Structure 1
Amino acid sequence: MDTTPTLYEWMGGAEALDRLTEAFYAHVRRDEVLAPVFAGMDAEHPRHVAVWLAEVFGGPADYTAHHGGHRHMAGRHLGRGITERQRRRWADLLMDTADEVGLPSDPEFRGVFACYVEWGTRMALIYSGPHPPPVDAAEVPVWSWGRTPPWIPEPDPQPSP
């Protein structure tokens, strides 16, 4: 029997993710770079992001069951035109907020957490851009200790002779 906790369990579960997203989006509302992106943010947005992150980090699959899974999350970014500056600010602010709310600071957890934040924000940039991949092309990625989503190479546009 595997007794290794999931990343979700290690970070403190739903309570920790709720603290993280509530504090984070309070900062976002006041941030000069991010506030315009989230100006019309629904009051439930922080909670929905917490549910997404729970699933991503090995917790309950409630985002898929109740919010539409990856297709919905990817679709929420379509056409938003997120800039690299906004992506980087989002990532930096989330990492700072993780410190603020007391998420575990051990290098193993923070390494995986930072890797997801970097990956996730780059995916948001891609989905918000002019040529996004199909929103139904993937499932919710589940991260674990030493496990990230698989690399899927782009199809070769030129057939080999």
Structure 2
Amino acid sequence: MGVDEPGLPTLFEWAGGSDALRRLIDAFYDRVEADGLLSGFFPGGVSEHHRDHVAAWWAEVLGGPTRYADELGGYESMLDHHRGLDISPEQRHRFASTMSLAADDARLPDDPEFRAAIIGYLEWGTRIAMHNSRPGADDLTEHAPVPRWGWGVAPPWQG
């Protein structure tokens, strides 16, 4: 189920669909592979398999196809991928700022409303991932739907 924002395109549509999100994920992981603070999470580089799955996650979160929930394990799978990584606050911040730069690399829409929405998701999602990555974290939400992100407080400017 998507966010109820009648009359507005989904963030997935506004971004440019699956091709645009795959450009985002590739640009992001290309940067991650060259970043000493983040590359250690991916010894040997970021696989095609991982890039494909993360692109599917982002597509679903932004209101696109539900492939991650339907075929790739949903929220529980994403939770499992972050368990035990012990993501530091500095790594979390670098992840979010690197994704913002990758959005520029991928030529995603640069209107402030769209960027505010995806940065809002990045802040929310990376903080949850950091918490869930802590060894021994015992207050995890084990089962949840894949989040569906919307425009929030700033819908697209239609000038």
Structure 2 counterpart of 1:102? 107
State the AA in 2 paired with 1:32. G
RMSD of aligned residue pairs (Cα, Å): 1.5
Structure 2 counterpart of 1:151? none
| Unaligned runs of at least 5 residues, structure 1 | 148-161
What's the % identity of the aligned pairs? Answer: 44
- Residue of structure 1 aligned with 2:13, choices 9, 16, 20: 9
Structure 1 counterpart of 2:61? 56
More divergent stretch after superposition (35-44 vs 95-104): 35-44
Question: Does 1 or 2 have the higher relative contact order (CA < 8 Å, sep 6+)?
Answer: 2
- Residue of structure 1 aligned with 2:85, choices 73, 76, 80: 80
Q: C-alpha offsets along residues 103-140 of structure 1, whole Å, 9 cap, x if unaligned?
A: 11111111110000111110110110131544533211
Q: Does 1:68 align with 2:66?
A: no
Normalization by structure 1: what TM-score?
A: 0.85
Q: C-alpha offsets along residues 139-161 of structure 1, whole Å, 9 cap, x if unaligned?
A: 111011217xxxxxxxxxxxxxx
Normalization by structure 2: what TM-score?
A: 0.86
Structure 2 counterpart of 1:39? 43
Contact 1:28 1:35 in 2 (8 A): yes
- Look at both structures and tell me which one has the larger radius of gyration over its CA atoms: 1
* Alignment: residue pair count: 146
State the AA in 2 paired with 1:139. P
- Residue of structure 2 aligned with 1:138, choices 133, 140, 144: 144
